[in-house]
């Protein structure tokens, strides 16, 4: 079975990559990985630690266990496109009742839901508050401890897509999603639980690299919603060693960290988040490094992408 996402010329012009990891997508997809019997090796320690944390509080909270089955469909309204978890949860809770009810009715075709799920659909305050508290609790236990790694991997994937667009255009980027998707000239094609054709009809698509999405891309079920395609963020194939001690001694710890951070081309905001410094601080250090010929900066849409120069790479490598 196959998912086919069809592009027109207008769709190619309107296709974009999410600005960072989308909090609610990562939360929901982590629930699949949490209950999987076969997780990738890099998730095994996360799965074990999260299960232990949940056992200490009892078990997986009932709203999440029932609203997000281990496999298959889950309600579209659970995954708004927000990079901030608090904004994402507020968007979930503020979903119009008609849409909430339609999504939950679709879920009842696959599983029997308890009465409290209908209360969530109807927007009754007590059940909505319970859902919000449950989402925040689960995020604190399962997602927050892993968020730095989530951001690092997603940002590395974004850097790869940005370089591909700059070098070869949007079609070159779409052709670079193998092995989990392939570009056949006018459609992205991927294995999928059901046969589905998604026509973008000039709306473009938001491509979302995801840490917890593994192997199979995902799309929203409701075709009337703005198209979203979530795919596994590519893990960096080569990891540059941390900045050597002599580079730290030469540049200072933070500036050396900034230089190391642009081993994968990144924006100022991405570097700031990675190093837990302000954007102004990251920008100040970037200016010094650029003036020294160690990094280069190039504007891309509304952002500036920073990358190592050959001299900067040689300094990190000890050459």
pLDDT per residue over 86-111, tens digit each? 999 999 999 999 999 999 999 988 87
pLDDT at residue 234, as a whole number: 82
Please say if the pLDDT value at position 236 is more than 70. Answer: no
Q: Cβ(67)–Cβ(117) under 8 Å?
A: yes
Please say if the pLDDT value at position 164 is more than 90. Answer: no
Q: Cβ(196)–Cβ(172) under 8 Å?
A: no
What's the distance, Cα to Cα, between the start and end of the chain in Å? 51
Helix (H) or strand (E) holding 214: none
Least trusted range by pLDDT, from 37-41, 58-62, 81-85, 155-159: 58-62
Average pLDDT over residues 59-83: 87
In whole angstroms, give the CA distance from residue 319 to residue 311.
9
In whole angstroms, give the CA distance from residue 91 to residue 88.
5
pLDDT at residue 171, as a whole number: 94
Please say if the pLDDT value at position 175 is more than 70. Answer: yes
CA distances from 48 to 16, 158, 214, 311 (A): 35, 29, 18, 43
In whole angstroms, give the CA distance from residue 211 to residue 152.
9
pLDDT at residue 244, as a whole number: 60
Q: Cβ(155)–Cβ(20) under 8 Å?
A: yes
In whole angstroms, give the CA distance from residue 285 to residue 304.
15
In whole angstroms, give the CA distance from residue 219 to residue 193.
11
Average pLDDT over residues 196-219: 96
Average pLDDT over residues 242-252: 73
SS3 289: helix
243 pLDDT tier (thresholds 50, 70, 90): low
- The chain-wide mean pLDDT, for the chain, equals 88
């Amino acid at each position: 079975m196959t998912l086919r996402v069809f592009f027109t010329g207008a769709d190619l012009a309107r296709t974009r990559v999410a600005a960072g990891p989308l909090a609610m997508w990562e939360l929901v997809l982590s629930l699949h990985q949490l209950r999987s019997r076969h997780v990738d090796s890099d998730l095994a320690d996360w799965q074990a630690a999260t299960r232990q944390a949940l056992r200490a509080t009892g078990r997986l909270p009932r709203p999440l266990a029932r609203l997000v089955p281990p496999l298959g469909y889950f309600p579209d309204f659970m995954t708004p496109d927000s990079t901030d978890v608090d904004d994402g949860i507020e968007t979930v809770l503020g979903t119009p009742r008609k849409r909430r009810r339609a999504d939950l009715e679709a879920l009842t075709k696959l599983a029997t839901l308890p009465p409290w799920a209908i209360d969530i659909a109807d927007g009754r305050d007590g059940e909505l508050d319970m859902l919000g508290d449950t989402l925040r609790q689960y995020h604190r236990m399962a997602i927050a401890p892993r968020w730095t790694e989530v951001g690092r991997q997603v940002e590395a994937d974004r850097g790869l897509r940005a370089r591909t667009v700059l070098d070869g255009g949007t079609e070159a980027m779409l052709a670079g999603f193998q092995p989990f998707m392939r570009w056949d000239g006018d459609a992205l094609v991927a294995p999928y639980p059901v046969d589905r054709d998604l026509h973008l009809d000039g709306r473009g698509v938001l491509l979302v690299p995801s840490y917890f999405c593994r192997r199979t891309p995902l799309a929203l079920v409701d075709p009337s919603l703005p198209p979203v395609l979530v795919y596994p963020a590519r893990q960096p194939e080569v990891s540059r060693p941390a900045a050597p001690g002599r580079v730290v001694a030469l540049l200072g710890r933070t500036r050396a960290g900034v230089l190391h951070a642009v081993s994968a081309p990144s924006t100022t905001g991405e570097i700031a988040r990675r190093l837990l410094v302000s954007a102004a601080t990251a920008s100040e250090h970037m200016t010094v490094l650029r003036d020294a010929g160690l990094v280069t900066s190039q504007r891309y849409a509304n952002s500036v992408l920073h990358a190592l120069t050959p001299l900067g790479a040689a300094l990190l490598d000890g050459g």
